[in-house]
Homo-oligomer: A and B are copies of this chain.
Amino acid sequence: MKKNHNKPLEASRFAYDGLDRVIHERARLSVLTSLISHSKGQHFGELKQLCGLTDGNLNRHLTVLEDAKLIVISKGVEHNRPQTTCRITPLGRKRYIEYLAVLEQVILDASSAVHARDPLATRSG
Q: How far is the CA of A39 from the CA of B46 in the complex (A)?
A: 43
Tallying the copies of this chain within the complex gives 2
Give the residues in chain B near A73, CB-CB below 8 Å.
Answer: none
Cβ of A12 under 8 Å from chain B: yes
Q: Is the CB of B46 within 8 A of A33?
A: no
Which residues 105-125 in A have Cβ within 8 Å of B in the complex? 106-107, 109-114, 117-125
The total of chain A residues at the interface (CB under 8 A) is 58
Chain A residues close to B by CB (< 8 Å): 4, 6, 9-17, 19, 21, 24, 26, 29-31, 33-34, 36-43, 45-46, 49-53, 85, 96-97, 100, 103-104, 106-107, 109-114, 117-125
